[in-house]
Amino acid sequence: MTGNGWLQIAILFLLVLAVTKPLGLFMARVFNREKTFLDRILRPLERLIYRLTGVDEGREMRWTEYAVSMLLFSVVSMVVLYVIQRVQGYLPWNPQKLAGVPPALAFNTAASFSTNTNWQAYVPETTMSYFTQMAGLAYHNFFSAAAGIALAIAFIRGIARRQAETLGNFWVDMTRASLWVLLPFCLVGSLVLVSQGVVQNFRAYDTVQLVEPQQVPHLNADGTAAVGPDGKPVMDTIAQQTIAQGPVASQEIIKEFGTNGGGFFNANSAHPFENPTPFTNLIEIFCIFAISAGLVYTLGHMTGSLAHGWAVWAAMAFLFLAGVTVTYWSEARGNPLLAGVNQQASATHPGGNMEGKEVRFGVANSALFATATTDTSCGAVNAMHDSFTPLGGLVPLVNIMLGEVIFGGVGSGMYGMLVFVVLSVFIAGLMVGRTPEYLGKKIESYDVKMAMLSLLIFPLIILTLAAISVVSSSFGTSSIANAGPHGLSEILYAFTSAAGNNGSAFAGINANTNWYNIALGFNTLIGRFLVVIPVLAIAGNLARKKYVAPSLGTFPVTTPLFSALLVSVILIVGALTFFPVLSLGPILEHLLMHAGTTF
Amino acid sequence: MAKKNQSKSLWDAKIVRRALLDSVMKLDPRTMMKNPVMFVVEVGSVVTTILLVKDALGHQAHLGFNLQITLWLWFTVLFANFAEAMAEGRGKAQADSLRRAKSETMAHRILASGKIEQVASTQLRSGDIVTVTAGEFIPADGEVIEGVASVDESAITGESAPVIRESGGDRSAVTGGTRVLSDCIKVKVTSNPGETFLDRMIALVEGAERQKTPNEIALNILLAGLTIIFLLAVVTLQPFAVYSQSPQTVFVLVSLLVCLIPTTIGGLLSAIGIAGMDRLVQHNVLAMSGRAVEAAGDVNTLLLDKTGTITLGNRQASRFVPAPGVPEQELADAAQLSSLADETPEGRSIVVLAKEKYNLRGRELSTHQTEFIPFTAQTRMSGVNLNGFQIRKGSVDAIERYVTENGHPFPPEVRAVVEEVSRAGSTPLVVAERSRGALGVIELKDIVKGGIRERFEHLRAMGIRTVMITGDNPLTAAAIAREAGVDDFLAQATPKDKMDLIRKEQGQGKLVAMTGDGTNDAPALAQADVGVAMNTGTQAAKEAGNMVDLDSNPTKLIEVVEIGKQLLMTRGALTTFSIANDVAKYFAILPAMFAATFPVLNALNIMHLKTPQSAVLSAVIFNALIIIALIPLALRGVRYRPVGAAILLRQNLLIYGVGGVIVPFLGIKAIDMLITSVGLA
């Protein structure tokens, strides 16, 4: 670990800290429908949208209607994306003449993008046309994020309102999230990315002559390496390279800002056209955290308890710093099995485990990106998590397993965290000798039931489907590239990433099979929508409750002690569920690696 | 009877014996099903038992280990049942002694014709009128409609001193099963057989009517949810273990499951609830529902009547302040004379003060030369006409009118004294003589109960606001409020004012508790979230409230609140403890499961447990024994200290959260050392 590495992590952390209040306050104003500096431009546009769609912006919805609207919107959007993929061959903006996407993959992709997961079982530059990328995928990048923000705001309203039946209007919240929060920022952000070298065009792919032609094994039709009559492998000489192009910048910025994570290219943020410089790398990580950090302030502002907002923020920040420290430490330590190789950081060498990492980012920025992308539900990557040391790879996995509540996905992190808050308040709240109260709302059996339900779904789909996969050699283990605990991690990571709507891949697994496409597709759908419904039910129920005045005897949710309690509940409830399987995956691999075995 | 039980130790031999038997009876799956956590343990025990029998017939290996696991799983269930049975046992013992009081008696029913017939008490219906004479048991709950009697209520209250019950007023309610000691009363029966106070009391202490309270239901859901999560974690662990080429036996998997699910709190939860109700009974308070006890813990505002709760009840004369030109002795003399016939405590205290301070003996006044003027609501003064003197004492307004009507000026000095006395929280009485005008002022002082100030400070630290209710004028009320240390007061309160105050507080989201005894308190008692009726009170009051204090002690409310808080705290503390325990159990069982295939996983065996078998067994034994070890805590409750939620939380998190992480590491290690040294594993 180097001072420079820590400095970069510190700069990112301070930027996130700095944006929390202004962005949080801005979002509170947007969703409280108070005046903002963008109203002059956006208000007429907003009115026009409502006129065209027939939305009555003054009408409020109960939680059930809110949920149904959200589901309806997602289902329709999902079907549209499925159709676009299937017929992209007939649609414009397809200079590479890419054919329609096969059904299982198209389902997987549609499910994954409409749930803000952006799991990519395909290679974008050889699968998706520019039209599909822009009208299909980028559309979802915006609106799945906007839906997430809307849901978080609905939950916050549930806490803040007293004896109210409604949580707001889903369509209005969606529209305002898109127009006020996502669009302006992405407009500016994409221009900054372009200035750094991120491409934005509709050109066909470039073909260039290699400076140094490469020898590669010739492959037979069945994919095996060809062997010549002399018994030596037949080699091909490659002298040309195809360089993919496309409208990248516009999609890149929302990929991070909306914690979507679906790369324009297969290499995602490791690709120089997506993430060319350490500066864009900083911008991208910052964007991953910005809205989610801001929403915590919005929570404090809208519920009238800024101190509580900051207490939750502190718990998130602690978990983030702990995660990045472990990953950075583990990666910087390098691989003990590479005996005799210098893994010390120096002026000319980044040091540590550089396998699967970009030289322009090095260990610190890769560790930081991996932590950030899994703290949230982003899933963009600038390094291959599969190549991380076992402990370095454990952190991203655990981050997702905890429910991505460390700032978390836009909106989803907020409401995921609030479920943990409700549970923490309930478990420990009894210890002060009162019926547990959260910001003046009593936490009762219905709330606990719904919180447990939303918490239960996560281990249910991850553990069950991963368990089926690891014992099924025909369709489960046949996809993994590595044996032993590392193979287990690969399968576990895939299901965790899908259920958590993260979308990052551990790699090392061929997920483009019917089983994985369909199982992971359902995982993303269940991981989003079945979790959201009980969450909205809690919000609706809290809104209906009477306000209980605070007193000296009221459970404090604003103190450092509360932050510590929240962290403990997240770690104990979250980690205890997955500790057994983790001990057979990354933990075992770590121990075996130090004993001299790798996979 | 309740008082007698207080001395009973937690481990009373008779109760323990009955509880042991009950804990086996409770294995009935229909009963167990109500407790999802322990039901899972029972199912696990059954599964391992069946496998054990199969293994024994097939001569499998590890029979000794599997047998021990199975036994300890059964013990886990039995220990939890035992905890519940212990909590119930104390109530059952009380119910037995109550039943003895309920023995059938004969009643003398007065028929419409006026004739008296003898019927069995079980044949009495609501509305019947009976007559009860000295030495007889009152046959049913009712209201005295004629007469006055002293009644021995010790069967209900445990208090041996007899109490007075009389018709009219707020002390008219009598309870079936109590005994009339003197005189004869006519009682109008107000309950039907099977619905009497005694019946309800028996049902309550026995726990027969016990319904789960709201918090208990919520907690049960949490525990059931955690159980399902851990069930998932354990069931799916087998495929992962198979993938890792180290499949596990069912015995080990069930052990892991039972250790992870929150058996500690699951096993003790209902015992905590029953014990909470029982603790109230120990304090001679009967709660009509567990919900009320929980609500008591949540109370934000206590409404307390000044008289009898905050002050000693009776005002006492403390000072004579003469008008200008009047000797103090003369004032004292006039005051005493005017009070000789005044039988109120205030009147008597004036006589006593005059005697003590000025050595004035109470004089026997023959009636023919003396005319006593009683207090009336119209004149608002009382006094005496004696040898041509006309002495009056009363409120300042009344006396001022009396003095000026008789042609004397009312001295401003006297008015100043009156105001000063009022401001000090005392009640001024002005004494006047018809021919001389105002003689001076008697200060009647309200005596605030000793130690009440400290109790209110405790309440404030708990976050509870106290409001004093009084009929006094605002000036007096403010002074007493200051002296007693209450947060607020309601002066010149009418029953409607009281009701409005409760509604206002509730409107602000506060929970209100109050005590009351009179019929006019009934609406407020019903409106309050926690209404404690005095046992001496009227039937209406007792029915409106959700608790009855058998000792009729208004300050008991404070203890009720503490018991409510204790109940909730105990649940929270044991839940936290139970969940925190899991960390250590993982470190015991997981390496034991997989170290055979992957010796490197012994790195997780941070307790250095001897063998995989001893590790699993130690965790299971610890898990079972901790239930027994925590029974006393569950029954007695976590100690409540009024220090505010923030400090309480810190302390309890430290004890039950951090302690819950550490204790099992030590406990499992100790058990491991023990069982490996005696060769059990």
Same domain, A116 and A228: no
Residue whose C-alpha is closest to residue A456's, from B392, B529, B226: B226
Give residue-wise pLDDT tens across range A180-227. Answer: 999 999 999 999 999 999 999 998 999 999 999 988 888 887 777 888
Q: State the pLDDT at residue B103.
A: 66
Whether residue A215 lies inside any domain: the answer is yes
Q: State the pLDDT at residue A573.
A: 83
- Cross-chain residue pair A488–B240, CB shorter than 8 Å: yes
Greater confidence (A411 vs B277) lies with A411
Residue whose C-alpha is closest to residue A573's, from A315, A378, A398, A375: A398
Which residues in chain B have Cβ-Cβ distances shorter than 8 Å to A546? Answer: 509
Which residues in chain B have Cβ-Cβ distances shorter than 8 Å to A559? Answer: 646
Alpha carbon distance B513, B299 (integer Å): 6
Structure tokens at B557: 């409310």
Q: In chain B, count of helices (H) and strands (E)?
A: 24, 22
Structure tokens at B101: 């009081």
The stretches in chain B having pLDDT less than 50 are 1-7
Q: State the pLDDT at residue B7.
A: 41
Assess A576–B contact: CB distance below 8 Å, yes or no.
Answer: yes
Same domain, A110 and A230: no
Same domain, A219 and A258: no
Domain count, chain A: 2
Same domain, A217 and A79: no
Same domain, A232 and A252: no
CB burial class (10 A; 0-12, 13-18, 19+) of residue A380?
buried
Mean pLDDT of A19-30: 97
Q: CA of A492, closest CA in chain B: separation in Å?
A: 10
Mean pLDDT of A156-162: 95
Whether residue A361 lies inside any domain: the answer is no
Whether residue A217 lies inside any domain: the answer is yes
Catalytic residue numbers of B read 305
**What's the complex ipTM?**
0.91
Task: Look up the domain containing A226 and give its range.
Answer: 206-243
Residues 6+ apart with CB under 8 A from A372: A12, A285, A288, A289, A320, A324, A378
Whether residue A188 lies inside any domain: the answer is yes
Residues 625-664 of B with CB under 8 A from A: 640, 644-646, 648-650, 652-653, 656-657
Assess B298–A contact: CB distance below 8 Å, yes or no.
Answer: yes
Q: CA of B546, closest CA in chain A: separation in Å?
A: 18
Whether residue A323 lies inside any domain: the answer is no
- Cross-chain residue pair B240–A592, CB shorter than 8 Å: no
pLDDT above 60 for A372: yes
Q: State the pLDDT at residue B182.
A: 80
Alpha carbon distance A421, B127 (integer Å): 56
- Cross-chain residue pair A427–B214, CB shorter than 8 Å: no
Assess B225–A contact: CB distance below 8 Å, yes or no.
Answer: yes
Same domain, A234 and A251: no
Whether residue A430 lies inside any domain: the answer is no
Same domain, A119 and A188: yes
Q: State the pLDDT at residue B207.
A: 65
pLDDT above 60 for A392: yes
Same domain, A180 and A49: yes
Residues 231-270 of B with CB under 8 A from A: 232-234, 236-244, 256, 260
Q: State the pLDDT at residue A469.
A: 95
Alpha carbon distance B96, B18 (integer Å): 13
Residues 164-223 of B with CB under 8 A from A: 214-215, 217-219, 221-222
Whether residue A97 lies inside any domain: the answer is yes
Same domain, A256 and A292: yes
Domain C-terminal end among A273, A298, A323: A298
Q: State the pLDDT at residue B6.
A: 44
Q: Which helix (H) or strand (E) holds A538?
A: helix A531-544
**Residue B641 backbone phi and psi in degrees, to 5:** -120, 130
Assess A466–B contact: CB distance below 8 Å, yes or no.
Answer: yes
Which residues in chain A have Cβ-Cβ distances shorter than 8 Å to B582? Answer: 572, 576
Residue whose C-alpha is closest to residue A433's, from B566, B175, B231, B322: B566
Same domain, A106 and A227: no
- Cross-chain residue pair A559–B646, CB shorter than 8 Å: yes
Q: Which helix (H) or strand (E) holds B373?
A: strand B370-373
Assess A471–B contact: CB distance below 8 Å, yes or no.
Answer: yes
Greater confidence (A228 vs A63) lies with A63
Whether residue A10 lies inside any domain: the answer is no
Greater confidence (B7 vs A580) lies with A580
Mean pLDDT of A125-143: 92
Alpha carbon distance B485, B454 (integer Å): 8
Which residues in chain A have Cβ-Cβ distances shorter than 8 Å to B222? Answer: 423, 426-427, 448, 452
Assess A430–B contact: CB distance below 8 Å, yes or no.
Answer: yes
Same domain, A70 and A59: yes
* Lowest-pLDDT range of A411-415, A422-426, A474-478, B336-340: B336-340
Mean pLDDT of A497-521: 89
Same domain, A28 and A102: yes
Exposure string for A396-406, b = 16+ CB within 10 A, e = fewer: bbbbbbbbbbb
